[in-house]
């Protein structure tokens, strides 16, 4: 592409974030405006302490999110329930009837941040999953096995064989989103599988491979789960995201942790990208020469999968270099956006 062909601005239908951590309380108030500036709607993860396990809790959390939204901003939180061994089929019916719960999240117990209350054995959830299949409630999956004998970098690929394939064989009509995929194995599985399955892809997994965590020293802000993988996997994610295949859509997995909880002997998993998510995706799609595919990925495919209307307004991104802040507030603490202090070449207007 010659310089003259390089677009200086990109206007697309307003995007949505199909995988987001907003936390609660003072942290929620700090991070919510960032996401609301970038996205019209977001699927809000339920891994709070205690987790959002009931429709009533999801309704109260939704009210807290709306109360924390600065005046004049438009943002629709799409709520989720946290699946446990004890989630009753009736809870799914209540969730479906609520109109504000849009999915149920599977965290294998111990897989990631605040997953201790997660599912120990999916077989215990089959009656509940059957109701989800029946009413069309999507299951969102953190797809990693927790077996300590399995190498950390292999946990997603092993999950496909041990959990995803058997589950989909037993419940072929259950809508599933394979969240934040990080491997060629997962991208290939989702692209080829039959039935209602899709995947979200983060901006950081499109832009970085695992070397980024160790460039010149250990870089805890690049540590997230599932962990960054080899370059061949990043390339497969780029191919999937920019392919135009409607099974792949945007989910930032922006996951705020205070600087002190990241820069420590046992740092938390999660990258904070809500501040500059669309700029990061723009950069990734531009590198692939696929800016024309960004709108489908960011603004259409997710809405279509969740059977929600596409947004009617637009946003514009401009080619303009700006510098990310070193930190932003997180309640009384501070939060470092991914790439803090560095330059980025697109700007959401």
Ligand X SMILES: NC(=O)N[C@@H](CC(=O)O)C(=O)O
Which CB sits closer to Zn ion, 76 or 144? Answer: 144
**3 state DSSP class of 229:** coil
Looking at 5, 185, 253, 304, which residue is catalytic? 253
Active-site annotation holds for 253? yes
Smallest distance from the beta carbon of 106 to ligand X, in angstroms? 11
Smallest distance from the beta carbon of 271 to ligand X, in angstroms? 7
What are phi and psi for residue 89, nearest 5 degrees? -55, -35
Which CB sits closer to ligand X, 271 or 315? Answer: 271
Summarize as ranges the residues that interact with ligand X (CB under 6 A): 21, 47, 112-113, 142, 224-225, 253, 255, 269-270
Cα gap 75→216, rounded to integer Å: 39
Binding site members for Zn(2+): 19, 21, 105, 142, 180, 253
Cα gap 145→166, rounded to integer Å: 14
Residues 6+ apart with CB under 8 A from 347: 279, 317, 318, 319, 320, 322
What are the start-end ranges of the E strands in the chain? 9-13, 17-20, 41-44, 76-82, 101-106, 139-141, 176-178, 197-201, 248-250, 314-323, 328-330, 333-335, 343-348
- The site partner of 270 among ligand X, Zn ion, none (C-beta below 5 to 8 Å per kind) is ligand X
Cα atoms in the Cβ-side hemisphere of radius 13 Å centred on 152: 11
- The site partner of 144 among ligand X, Zn ion, none (C-beta below 5 to 8 Å per kind) is none
- The site partner of 198 among Zn ion, ligand X, none (C-beta below 5 to 8 Å per kind) is none
Which CB sits closer to ligand X, 270 or 296? Answer: 270
Which CB sits closer to ligand X, 241 or 255? Answer: 255
Smallest distance from the beta carbon of 108 to Zn ion, in angstroms? 10
What residues act catalytically? 253
């Amino acid at each position: 592409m010659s310089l003259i062909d390089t677009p200086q601005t990109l206007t697309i239908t307003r995007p949505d974030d199909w995988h987001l951590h907003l936390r609660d309380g003072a942290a929620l108030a700090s991070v919510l405006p960032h996401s609301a500036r970038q996205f019209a709607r977001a699927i809000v993860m339920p891994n709070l302490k205690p987790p959002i396990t009931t429709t009533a809790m999801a309704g109260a959390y939704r009210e807290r999110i709306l109360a924390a939204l600065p005046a004049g901003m438009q943002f629709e939180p799409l709520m989720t329930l946290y699946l446990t061994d004890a989630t009753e089929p009736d809870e799914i019916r209540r969730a479906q009837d609520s109109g504000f719960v849009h999915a149920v999240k599977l965290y294998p117990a111990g897989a990631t941040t605040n997953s201790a209350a997660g599912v120990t054995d999916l077989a215990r959830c089959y009656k509940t999953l059957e109701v989800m299949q029946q009413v069309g409630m999507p299951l969102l999956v953190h797809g990693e096995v927790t077996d300590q004998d399995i190498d950390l970098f292999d946990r997603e690929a092993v999950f496909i064989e041990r959990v995803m394939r058997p589950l989909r064989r037993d419940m072929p009509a259950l809508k599933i989103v394979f969240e934040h995929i990080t491997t060629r194995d997962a991208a290939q599985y989702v692209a080829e599988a039959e039935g209602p399955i899709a995947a979200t892809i983060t901006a950081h997994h499109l832009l970085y491979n695992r070397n980024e965590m160790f460039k010149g020293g250990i870089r805890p802000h690049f540590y997230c789960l599932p962990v960054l993988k080899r370059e061949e996997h990043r390339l497969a994610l780029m191919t999937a995201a920019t392919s135009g295949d409607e099974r792949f859509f945007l989910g930032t997995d922006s996951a705020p942790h205070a600087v002190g909880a990241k820069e420590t002997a046992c740092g938390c998993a999660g990258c904070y990208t809500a501040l500059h998510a669309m700029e990061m995706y723009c950069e990734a799609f531009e590198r692939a020469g696929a800016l024309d595919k960004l709108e489908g990925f960011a603004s259409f495919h997710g809405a279509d999968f969740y059977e929600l209307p596409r947004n009617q307004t637009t946003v514009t991104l401009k080619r303009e270099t700006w510098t990310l802040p070193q930190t932003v507030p997180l309640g009384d603490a501070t939060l470092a956006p991914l790439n803090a202090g560095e330059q980025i070449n697109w700007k959401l207007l």
